[in-house]
Structure 1
């Protein structure tokens, strides 16, 4: 499959600075069209939502366009898209609303592989309701999340199962459809953290079996804004805390205060950018179909390209005697955690940073994983993640520098 990486990279102005960005798992660089959309909106007359004048009408239009874009990205409907400042904030909003019906004896099933944003809001809501938290454990050697354990974990008392669509520490892709099937058979809701999954492949809520799916635009070339998507009928019974005069319908009642209209313009532009990647990369017939179809074409190509680059990284890391890689899941997004002998993860990241190579270090909020592995107190690990603008040459440079650092350790 053709993939014109030069044209793809040219869509990201920040890459011209010359840094090597293996840190997209913590936040990707912003596409040019996104920055332009945000700037144009901030230069235009936009007021709070109103039908009385053009500035207010534009605000309504920006919200509607952003909802439609997210619906196309994940396979939902615009009426089920809720926006918020972050995945963490949105999950707290949903958790508080969902947990209002929980009672002592109810149960919530969580995963040790999840980012803490899909753990702590549920733990705290369960504690407040007197509900019980049950834990799905990962395999320490492979980093996989065995599906069969959910047969025993999910019972008639289960009210919600929260699970990641992809580990932000190891890249592990759990079998979310199978887990969701077990949860739904017990009458439980399924909340999927899709922050680490959505940037790397097409998303389909129906295929996943997700009742709620949360994603952050800054992980897929957009601004710092997040959304959680559910069917309107799933939102309808939930009553969040809200101001009396604020809108009471779905999805508006879940969005506290006035949104950032400029950031919403950026969200729409980011989805359009993802849909346009196929054309940028030179794929045949990439312009065919509606935006949802073009997203599927583009993101399938992205997944194939990223896997080829990531395979080079994994193969290279395996040849470095000084490097310990954590986890080896069979199905994963292009993310890996490791340590270099004789160095703390922070020291490795700082040394690479002085060379213009950007990686992450620490626990990256994958708190339960690093606690269970006994690595958190000693600094966690180094994380390298591949995004669709990374190249094999960049991987080779990273591997060369890691080999050099390891020889010094």
Structure 2
């Protein structure tokens, strides 16, 4: 299926280049730009009559419809059940909430496994919850030369006392993609639950939580063209077993028992619009889930062409050091430094050229330490649905100029 990036870009007001060249955005891993459909959906809710969920007034019914539509869209995106879609302020907040809830059943002798490849949002909540419960934390590391975390890396720290394994579906720093399905199967063999950070994976792949073996799958709509929000998918039956702390009068039904306070209806509408937009990136027919499969396959092909262009270009610059193995299957994300130029200066110099490729460690605290970049970080360039070959050319030209 052909991917028409020009047609896609036409929907993004931030990319309007009528006066000056638009910025080349490689900052999508930290937060993507949004199409006008998302902005309109958000504004539409704020302009409408809306109230707390209910069934009596039109405003209440509108709120209920917005929430139900967002749960259905989220389920279609990840292959889950609408009754198992939980929304929160962010993936970090949701993970802290679920860590505290799950830790109620942990105690001395229990073990939790985290990995050094993960963003800290899928590390620290589990470490802190385990410590508070008296449980032990075991660490799975990865090969810094390749950036790859293998199933064996995780298996060697599992035991019959493992209660949960937390791992990423794709490193937000390197883009490397662990074999989540194999890790999950191995974790399930010892009776552990699996919590998957899908924040960096979801914008670049067709997600199937059942195929991944994820008991919990968390992601962030603002990484896939939507508003700032967090989303978690789990089986409703599993959620029924968990008892989070909550206000006494608050709903105890699933999934609402995990959502504290009034939901941000405008953001939910924006998330639905973003998922609908992803489903229609290329002409396709069928259900929204089926159209998502077609569109995301085309997007993945488009983004892999671009990241190959970037990798090949950087490989020809002797002043550049890349991290991880560019030949490994990964998300379209490249991490690099320029010899003799601090990453923060590379970031600023590229920004002066209208190229947004930020530098840092991006909350991948443990990963950065393994790579030896915990102090200055590195430059991260990530592709998005609106990235073009000319964007990549501009990035390469800017890096080449620094190297000279």
Q: Structure 2-normalised TM-score?
A: 0.97
2:365 alignment counterpart: 367
Is the CA contact (8 Å cut-off) linking 2:158 and 2:187 kept in structure 1? Answer: yes
Could you tell me how far 1:369 is from its partner in structure 2?
0.8
Is the CA contact (8 Å cut-off) linking 2:142 and 2:153 kept in structure 1? Answer: no
1:300 matched to 2:297: yes
Alpha-carbon displacement from aligned partner over 1:223-248 (angstroms, at most 9, x marks no partner): 00110010001111111111000001
Could you tell me how far 1:389 is from its partner in structure 2?
1.0
Is the CA contact (8 Å cut-off) linking 2:169 and 2:178 kept in structure 1? Answer: yes
Could you tell me how far 1:372 is from its partner in structure 2?
2.1
1:85 matched to 2:82: no
2:40 alignment counterpart: 36
2:347 alignment counterpart: 349
User: Which of 307, 312, 318 is the aligned partner of 1:310?
Assistant: 307
Alpha-carbon displacement from aligned partner over 1:83-117 (angstroms, at most 9, x marks no partner): 00100000001100011000111111111010000
Instruction: Measure the CA separation in 1 of the matches of 2:302 and 2:101.
Output: 40
Instruction: Measure the CA separation in 2 of the matches of 1:152 and 1:272.
Output: 41
Alpha-carbon displacement from aligned partner over 1:277-302 (angstroms, at most 9, x marks no partner): 112xxxxxx1x110000001100110
Is the CA contact (8 Å cut-off) linking 2:87 and 2:229 kept in structure 1? Answer: yes
What SS is found at the alignment partner of 1:214? strand
Instruction: Measure the CA separation in 2 of the matches of 1:30 and 1:388.
Output: 10
User: Which of 334, 337, 340 is the aligned partner of 1:336?
Assistant: 334
Instruction: Measure the CA separation in 2 of the matches of 1:344 and 1:94.
Output: 38
Alpha-carbon displacement from aligned partner over 1:309-347 (angstroms, at most 9, x marks no partner): 110001111111111101116110000111111111111
What SS is found at the alignment partner of 2:138? strand
Alpha-carbon displacement from aligned partner over 1:115-166 (angstroms, at most 9, x marks no partner): 0000000000010011111111110111111221222211100000000010
1:283 alignment counterpart: none
Instruction: Measure the CA separation in 2 of the matches of 1:388 and 1:182.
Output: 34
User: Which of 131, 154, 161 is the aligned partner of 1:157?
Assistant: 161
1:400 matched to 2:397: yes
What SS is found at the alignment partner of 2:114? strand
Deviates more, 1:15-24 or 1:58-67: 15-24
Is the CA contact (8 Å cut-off) linking 2:31 and 2:222 kept in structure 1? Answer: yes
What SS is found at the alignment partner of 2:202? coil
Instruction: Measure the CA separation in 1 of the matches of 2:232 and 2:153.
Output: 27
2:5 alignment counterpart: 5
2:259 alignment counterpart: 255
Could you tell me how far 1:350 is from its partner in structure 2?
0.9
1:24 alignment counterpart: 28
Unpaired runs of 5+ in structure 1?
Answer: 280-285
Q: Structure 1-normalised TM-score?
A: 0.96
Could you tell me how far 1:392 is from its partner in structure 2?
1.0
The 5-angstrom pairing of residues 64-75 of structure 1 reads 64-75=68-79
1:106 alignment counterpart: 110
What SS is found at the alignment partner of 2:163? strand
1:196 matched to 2:200: yes
Alpha-carbon displacement from aligned partner over 1:10-57 (angstroms, at most 9, x marks no partner): 111111151000110001100110001111111100011121100011
User: Which of 162, 170, 189 is the aligned partner of 1:166?
Assistant: 170
1:324 matched to 2:321: yes
Could you tell me how far 1:355 is from its partner in structure 2?
1.4
1:216 alignment counterpart: 220
1:282 alignment counterpart: none
Instruction: Measure the CA separation in 1 of the matches of 2:370 and 2:250.
Output: 43
Instruction: Measure the CA separation in 1 of the matches of 2:180 and 2:10.
Output: 35
What SS is found at the alignment partner of 1:109? strand
Give the RMSD, CA atoms, in angstroms. 0.9
Instruction: Measure the CA separation in 2 of the matches of 1:140 and 1:226.
Output: 30
Instruction: Measure the CA separation in 2 of the matches of 1:50 and 1:2.
Output: 44
